Amino acid sequence: MYSYNDFDEAFVRSRVAQFSQQVHRRIDGSLTEEEFRPLRLMNGLYLQLHAYMLRVAIPYGTLNPRQMRQLAHIAQTYDKGYGHFTTRQNIQFNWPKLPDVPAILTALADVEMHAIQTSGNCVRNVTSDHFAAAAADEIEDPRPYAELLRQWSTDHPEFQFLPRKFKIAITGAPNDRAVTAAHDIGLRLVKNDKGEVGFSVLVGGGLGRTPMIGMVVREFLPKEDLLPYVEAVLSVYNTLGRRDNKYKARIKITLHETGKEEITRQIEARFAQLRPLFGGHDQDLLAEITEAFAPPAFRNAPVDAYDAFYKADPVFRAWADTNLAQHRNDQYAIVTISLKAHGATPGDASADQMRVMADLAERYGHNELRISHEQNVILPHIHKGDLPAVHAALVQAGLGTANVGLISDIIACPGMDYCALATARAIPVAQQIATRFDELKLEHDVGPLKIKISGCINACGHHHVGHIGILGLDRAGVENYQITLGGDGTETAVVGERAGPGFAYDEIVPAIERIVGAYLEHREAPEETFLEAYRRLGLAPFKAALYPSEGKKDAA
């Protein structure tokens, strides 16, 4: 994986020094909050409901064990012993104190990490497929391009004051695990008729109060045109994007108001101007970066231990069935470590758990860890012969939950338990749904089902693309939860449909149970997933299950 060069190191260190001075000046009164706020946000520091929150970037969700251990150290030393992994593949610390933030940023810089551009109207952390360079279905590792974009966008003078924040996601596989269609720019590596690899470029996707699926503005972009083309998109957005209304400032609105044809024309015109200015240094840099992402030296060894355990141990088998994904090397598997133990907070890991995961990555996983946007941790390269040992260690650390992709593998934003913007809680709803379906012992029977919960309309919990989406709102001073159905965040992305009136806090779990009950009743066979059944049946049977009394009223 990529390692900082002298330039990166000097830049991050100078930003730590600069922000440390700013913190001191805020504390001694030389800076007002109005002056300090934009500075702290540029460095990932928020003031939330009960405390400060520091959002640390994990570029394209890739970490090494040393970095994971440092996150554990920070959690233990400066926070309450845990960290929260987010849907942006970042980690958030919920309880840092302002005077400690310079020390935390220094500790991050010691392991080539930072919190720069995790907030503000700039290009945010570039997200990617958490199975990158391991997945069997991949065309090419997307991370060298993500790293190139990270270097290009970090402190880019033209793009530090965009109309609004800007999110780029990139996938190297046709099965889109990076929700590229819901990003300001979505990049998909594709092959054209000649067998050349390039990008399909989507623009204008996003969730939030106006959810939209991105539109393809370029079917095939040669790889070497990536930076000038992305720069052209941002340049056009920087010019056209609205600064008069925060709610209309994202590029999805610009695209809608300008029209796809016109904005494409402007992007191409700007691209024609910019392309000649890129003399090839970007490609030299990309070549260097690509070397850093060379695949590990995969081991060639028997996988008998795996086969034997799979046959003999039902607990291991259940975990293997849900938490493993196919690796490009037949002797290997991709392990998803569930941070969704039933009843626990989605995405949270204790310092001890972080250390266990770091140790496993070091001992068995070619020194790589990933954070998924679904708030789990991935060991992308585990030899199958080592899986029984890895599983045993995970179980011991409370990380052995066999539920990836099932109903209890819920995405939830921090909601009103932490976030100052939230309008309702999200975490306890997730905890209760997971606990309830664990009691019912139904989740393996229900099969693949993605529930995603947001505690406000900004949709950090991706509820629009959940098979079942839950949006927490404040309705006349009471928490109220709206349900959307049929959302999909993959290559067949679609925004879910609102089911009807919302439910009170104590009604939401029974409502989810009724939806699942309707699915079990109406599915053609256990092989028909919830999403497939929804697509075949539409909203009606689920609505009838959700609002039984209304059906009776209509009949009367």
Name the residue nearer to another protein (CB basis): 48 or 160: 48
User: Is 501 a residue that touches another protein (CB under 8 A)?
Assistant: no
| Beta carbon of residue 103, minimum distance to another protein (angstroms, whole number) | 14
| Beta carbon of residue 357, minimum distance to another protein (angstroms, whole number) | 20
Residue 523 is given by DSSP the state: -
Question: In sequence order, what are the residues at sequence separation of 6 or more whose Cβ sits closer than 8 angstroms to the Cβ of residue 343?
Answer: 431, 434, 435, 438
Positions in 43-72 near another protein (CB under 8 A) = 47-52
Residue 496 is given by DSSP the state: P
User: Is 409 a residue that touches another protein (CB under 8 A)?
Assistant: no
Query: The tokens 């570039």 sit on which residue?
Result: 126
Residue 499 to residue 469: CA distance in whole angstroms: 10
- Near another protein by CB under 8 A: residue from 428, 442, 522, 541: 428
Give the count of residues interacting with another protein (CB under 8 A): 30
CB 453 within 8 A of CB 463: yes
Q: By C-alpha distance, which of 220, 136, 135, 203 is closest to 169? A: 203
CB 464 within 8 A of CB 487: yes
| Beta carbon of residue 411, minimum distance to another protein (angstroms, whole number) | 15
- Near another protein by CB under 8 A: residue from 10, 27, 292, 440: 27
Handedness of CA 39, 97, 208, 407 (dihedral sign): positive
- Segment interacting with another protein, rule: CB under 8 A, options 63-71, 131-139, 210-218, 424-432: 424-432
User: Is 477 a residue that touches another protein (CB under 8 A)?
Assistant: yes
- Near another protein by CB under 8 A: residue from 80, 156, 256, 444: 80
Handedness of CA 456, 461, 465, 469 (dihedral sign): negative
| Beta carbon of residue 418, minimum distance to another protein (angstroms, whole number) | 6
Name the residue nearer to another protein (CB basis): 19 or 332: 19
Residue 53 to residue 101: CA distance in whole angstroms: 10
Structure tokens at 427: 């975490």
| Beta carbon of residue 414, minimum distance to another protein (angstroms, whole number) | 8
- Near another protein by CB under 8 A: residue from 294, 308, 440, 478: 478
DSSP letters spanning 116-132: TTSSSSSB-PPEE-TTT
Positions in 504-543 near another protein (CB under 8 A) = none
CB 551 within 8 A of CB 544: yes
User: Is 484 a residue that touches another protein (CB under 8 A)?
Assistant: no
Positions in 456-475 near another protein (CB under 8 A) = 474
User: Is 97 a residue that touches another protein (CB under 8 A)?
Assistant: yes
Sheet with 62-63, edge to edge strand ranges: 62-63, 369-371, 377-383, 332-337, 324-326
DSSP letters spanning 383-444: EGGGHHHHHHHHHHTT-----TTSTT--EE--GGGT-SS-SS--HHHHHHHHHHHHHHT-HH
Structure tokens at 420: 């100052």
Name the residue nearer to another protein (CB basis): 39 or 51: 51
- Near another protein by CB under 8 A: residue from 185, 236, 416, 459: 416
Positions in 7-26 near another protein (CB under 8 A) = 26
| Beta carbon of residue 504, minimum distance to another protein (angstroms, whole number) | 12
- Segment interacting with another protein, rule: CB under 8 A, options 109-117, 141-149, 297-305, 427-435: 427-435
**Bridge pairing between strands 497-498 and 197-203:** unpaired
User: Is 29 a residue that touches another protein (CB under 8 A)?
Assistant: yes
- Near another protein by CB under 8 A: residue from 6, 33, 244, 439: 33
User: Is 347 a residue that touches another protein (CB under 8 A)?
Assistant: no
Name the residue nearer to another protein (CB basis): 366 or 425: 425
Which residues are near another protein by CB under 8 A? 26-29, 32-33, 47-52, 80, 94-95, 97-99, 345, 416-418, 425, 427-428, 431, 474, 477-479
